[in-house]
């Protein structure tokens, strides 16, 4: 398993990778190195997921999941340096969106700016009750630039998204769940057990089926209904000739738990 300067990787169980944003001294803020590390991680899972069937992404410590871009690193940056750094951030978010392996965000604390955008780029998210969320970029003379203006409206609707982004005001987990940003609120001691239990349930399913279903949902929502249905069938048909499809049907008939191998 690769090692990274700003990330901690561990296997929670076979096929289940736990990734921790590991800059607790900076509230796990996204600096240039973290952007490079995340881009490399997600790119590797796109190219060769191997035995990895699900990822849980969380932050180090109890205060913050991710505070967004590291403003201390950005202090005094030239326009050219700022744009070059942001291009790295763009790539790391887009690679996460393209990752074929399901990624669950376990939001262990506050998520601001790019931290909210990371949670939104994951497939879904659980959060501790005390977490706070905000997209405050307009209060800093910029705007969300890592998917916020596109992913927030898709989660909460256009009018709510405008309120969130144009005011920059923080909101809590109750609102985040009600608006569809977070799937589940957990007590702190239960966050990781619940996220890992959900990830384990995903890991137990046929990995090719999970990846094809994820792809059909993600890309189908960018299409009209008829084309989305056609895309779904194309994704479905790729599973018919797999060993796992044969094993799943055989196990159901034999009344036993299937053993999926990703083939």
Is 158 assigned a catalytic role?
A: no
Query: What are the φ and ψ backbone dihedral angles of 63, each rounded to 5 degrees?
Result: -85, -45
Q: Which of 137, 187, 194, 247 is catalytic?
A: 137
Cα distance between residue 44 and residue 5, in whole Å: 16
Find tokens 């590291």 and name the residue.
70
Is 232 assigned a catalytic role?
A: no
Helical H segments across the chain, by residue range: 32-47, 71-74, 79-98, 114-121, 148-156, 158-167, 173-179, 188-203, 207-220, 225-240, 243-254
Q: State CA 90 to chain mean position distance.
A: 14
Cα distance between residue 2 and residue 21, in whole Å: 15
Q: Residue 144 corresponds to which tokens in the numbers above?
A: 């969300």
Find tokens 């005390």 and name the residue.
130
End-to-end CA distance of the chain: 23
Q: Which of 39, 117, 158, 194 is catalytic?
A: 117
Residues annotated as catalytic (active site), given as ranges: 117, 137
């Amino acid at each position: 398993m690769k090692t990274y300067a700003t990330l901690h990787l561990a296997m929670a169980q076979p096929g289940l990778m736990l990734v921790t944003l590991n800059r607790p001294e900076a509230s796990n803020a996204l600096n240039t190195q973290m952007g490079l590390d995340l881009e490399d991680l997600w790119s590797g899972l796109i190219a060769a997921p191997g035995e990895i069937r699900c990822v849980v992404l969380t932050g180090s410590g109890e205060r913050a999941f991710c505070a967004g871009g590291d403003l201390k690193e950005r202090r005094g940056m030239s326009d050219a340096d700022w744009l070059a750094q942001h291009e790295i951030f763009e790539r790391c978010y887009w690679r996460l969106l393209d990752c074929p392996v399901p990624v669950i965000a376990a939001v262990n604390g506050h998520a601001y700016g790019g931290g909210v955008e990371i949670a939104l780029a994951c497939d879904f998210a659980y959060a501790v009750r005390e977490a706070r969320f905000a997209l405050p970029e307009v209060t800093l003379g910029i705007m969300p630039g890592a998917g916020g203006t596109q992913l927030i409206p898709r989660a909460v609707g256009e009018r709510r998204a405008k309120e969130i982004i144009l005011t920059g005001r923080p909101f809590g987990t109750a609102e985040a769940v009600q608006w569809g940003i977070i799937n589940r609120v957990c007590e702190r001691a239960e966050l990781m057990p619940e996220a890992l239990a959900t990830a384990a349930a995903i890991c137990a399913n046929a990995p090719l089926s999970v990846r094809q279903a994820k792809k059909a949902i993600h890309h189908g929502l960018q299409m009209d209904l008829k084309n989305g249905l056609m895309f779904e069938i194309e994704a479905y048909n790729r599973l018919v000739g797999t060993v796992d499809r044969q094993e799943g049907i055989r196990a159901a008939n034999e009344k036993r738990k299937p053993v999926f191998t990703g083939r």
